[in-house]
Amino acid sequence: MSKKESSILIAGGGSTYTPSLVIMLLEGRERFPVRKIKFYDNDEKRQEIVAKACEIIISERAPEIEFEYSIDPKSAFSDVDIVMAQLRVGKYAMREQDEKIPFKHNVVGQETCGPGGLAYGLRSIGPILEMVDYMEEYSPNAWLLNYSNPAAVVAESTRRFRPNSKIINICDMPVCLEDIMARVIGLKDRKSFETTYFGLNHFGWWTSIKDHEGNDLMPLISKHVKKYGYTEQTQKGQHKETSWLETMFAAKELHEIEPEFLSNTYLKYYLMSDSTVDHANKEYTRANEIIDGREKFVFNECTRIINEGTAKDTTFASNEHASFITDLACALTFNTKERMILIVENNGAIENFDSDAMVELPCIVGKDGYEVLSIGKIPTFQKGLMEQQIASEKLAVDAWEQGSYQKLWQAFTMNKTVPSTQVAKAILDEMLLVNEPYWPTLK
C-alpha cells in the first residue's frame, strides 16, 4: 500500500513562522508525504507576500505539491487533512499593548503571561472557535493542531466550548529546551532521550530525563543549568536573541528554588517578576524587537524571493517549532505512537490536581489521538503555584463566556504577576480601551 499523502492547511498563512514550516513540510516528505499545502489568513495583503514567496519555494523544491491560498473559509478549509494553526489575533500592534500596559504599572508585560497573556486570550477565543467550526464544516475528518497563543487560555476555551472537536493545543518551548539540554550534554537532539514533564502551558517542570538505555541524565543537565541556565555555546536553535538569552540564563535562578526538577523558562515571569520588571526596557519591548527583527526579516526575504523569482539562495530554514508540529501530524497520520508533550485535560493524570484543568503532559500519539501518561501526585510547591495560575486562566475564560468585567478583574488579581486588586483594575481599564475591537462587551 502506498503511503497516505496529506493536505495541510496553514491557518495564519501570513505568520512569521510560515516559511520555516513550509520548508519543514518539503524536507520531511519521506516520513510525512504531502500532496497539497494551503494557506488561510484574514489579512489578504500580509498573507499574499508570504504565499507568493512560498509558491516559488514549493515550485522549485517539490513542484508536484499543489499550493493554494485564500481568505475565504470555504475554499481554505475544504479538502484538508491537518490544519496547522498559528493565528495572532490583533497582530504585533496588540502584542505591543499587552506588553507595555502592564509595564506602566510595574507589572510583567509579556505575550502569554500575566495580564498581557490574559488580554490576548480574550482576543483569541472567538477566532479560534470560529476556525474549529470552519474545519468541522468543510473537512469534518481533519485534525486541528493549534500553536495560536495564549495556548493555555485557548486550550481551556476549546475544552469548554468544543469538547468533542479534533483539536490538539501545543507549545514548542518544551521541545526547544529539550534540544538545548541534549546539546549541552553532548547529545544530538531531544530524540536521544525520554522525558517526564508536568505543569500548565508555559508553567511546568521536567522530573525525569533518561537516555534510551534508562540512564538518568538529570544530574549532568542540572550541573550545566546550575551554572549557565539554558545558555549554551552554539547559535543553533530558535531563541537566540539577547532578550531570549537573558531568559535562558534566568533558569539558573529558577533551579535554585527547585533543584530537584528542571524548570520551563516561562516560570521566570511568575517567580522572578520583580527582577523582570526592573530589567525590562518598558518603552521598547519584545514586540518592538520582533517588528524590527523577525517580522522585518521574513517580509523582506519574501519580497526579495518574489522580486528575484527564485528562492535558491534563501536563508529560510526549518526549526524546532516546525519539526514538532510535523512530528505530531505524522504521529496522527501514521500511528507512530510517539511520546510528545501536549496540552490536555488532566482527568486524573496528575492525581492531586483538578480533573478539568488543561495541563501540559507527556502523551502517546497515534491514529486515534493521544493517551495521556499518568504522573501521580505532584509536590505542594508546584501544586500551589499551578492552582493559582489555572484559576486565573479559568476566570479569564469565564469573563469571555459571561461578558463579565468582574471575572476578568478577578483573573488579573489572581495572577501571581499582579500585586493587588487596584493595580489589576488600573491595568484592566487601560486594556479595555485598546481591546474594544476584539473583546466581548464586558459588564
User: Cell for 438?
Assistant: 476584539
286's contact among ligand G6P, ligand NAD, Mn ion, none, with CB below 5 to 8 A by partner kind, is ligand G6P
Q: Which residues contact residue 107 at a Cβ distance below 8 angstroms, ignoring those fewer than 6 apart?
A: 114, 115, 273, 277, 417, 418, 419, 423, 427
Cβ atoms of residues 134 and 115 within 8 Å: no
Please report whether residue 173 would count as binding Mn ion according to CB under 5 A. yes
Least distance between Mn ion and beta carbon 87 (Å): 14
Confirm whether residue 363 is marked as ligand binding: no
Least distance between Mn ion and beta carbon 173 (Å): 5
Please report whether residue 174 would count as binding ligand NAD according to CB under 6 A. no
Confirm whether residue 171 is marked as ligand binding: yes
218 vs 328 by CB, closer to ligand NAD:
328
User: Cell for 353?
Assistant: 490536581
Quick check: is 172 catalytic? yes
Range list of β-strands (E), 71-126: 82-85
- How far apart CA 149 and CA 170 sit, in angstroms, is 9
Please give the residues from 288 up to 307 whose contact with ligand G6P meets the rule CB under 6 A: 290
- In the set 172, 179, 270, 370, the catalytic residue is 172
Q: How many CB atoms lie under 10 A from the CB of residue 291?
A: 15
Please report whether residue 136 would count as binding ligand NAD according to CB under 6 A. no
Q: How many helices (H) and strands (E) does the chain have?
A: 17, 12
Please report whether residue 149 would count as binding ligand NAD according to CB under 6 A. yes
Binding pattern for the stretch 306-345 against ligand NAD, x by CB under 6 A and - elsewhere: ---------------x------------------------
User: Cell for 329?
Assistant: 501530524
- How far apart CA 110 and CA 115 sit, in angstroms, is 8
222 vs 417 by CB, closer to ligand NAD:
417
Residue in 32, 9, 136 with CA at minimum distance from that of residue 80: 9
Please report whether residue 41 would count as binding ligand NAD according to CB under 6 A. yes
Q: Which residues contact residue 237 at a Cβ distance below 8 angstroms, ignoring those fewer than 6 apart?
A: 176, 179, 180, 183, 319, 320
Quick check: is 266 catalytic? yes
Q: How many CB atoms lie under 10 A from the CB of residue 244?
A: 18
Q: What angle do CA 152, 156, 160 make, to 5 degrees?
A: 170
Please report whether residue 197 would count as binding ligand NAD according to CB under 6 A. no
12's contact among ligand NAD, ligand G6P, Mn ion, none, with CB below 5 to 8 A by partner kind, is ligand NAD
Residue in 240, 296, 245, 284 with CA at minimum distance from that of residue 109: 284
Q: Which residues contact residue 425 at a Cβ distance below 8 angstroms, ignoring those fewer than 6 apart?
A: 409, 412
Please report whether residue 171 would count as binding ligand NAD according to CB under 6 A. yes
State which of residues 123, 268, 286, 407 lies at the interface with ligand G6P (CB under 6 A). 286
Least distance between Mn ion and beta carbon 93 (Å): 21
Specify the stretch interacting with ligand G6P by CB under 6 A; choose among 20-28, 117-125, 132-140, 167-175.
167-175
Least distance between Mn ion and beta carbon 264 (Å): 9
State which of residues 6, 18, 70, 149 lies at the interface with ligand G6P (CB under 6 A). 149
Please report whether residue 267 would count as binding Mn ion according to CB under 5 A. no
Please report whether residue 427 would count as binding ligand NAD according to CB under 6 A. no
29's contact among ligand NAD, Mn ion, ligand G6P, none, with CB below 5 to 8 A by partner kind, is none
Cβ atoms of residues 269 and 110 within 8 Å: yes
- How far apart CA 50 and CA 39 sit, in angstroms, is 10
Least distance between ligand G6P and beta carbon 170 (Å): 9
Residues tagged active-site = 172, 266
List residues binding ligand NAD (CB under 6 A). 12, 14-17, 41-43, 46, 86-89, 91-92, 127, 147-149, 151, 171-173, 321
Question: Binding site for substrate: what residues are annotated?
Answer: 95, 149, 286
Q: Annotated binding site: which residue ranges?
A: 95, 149, 171, 202, 286
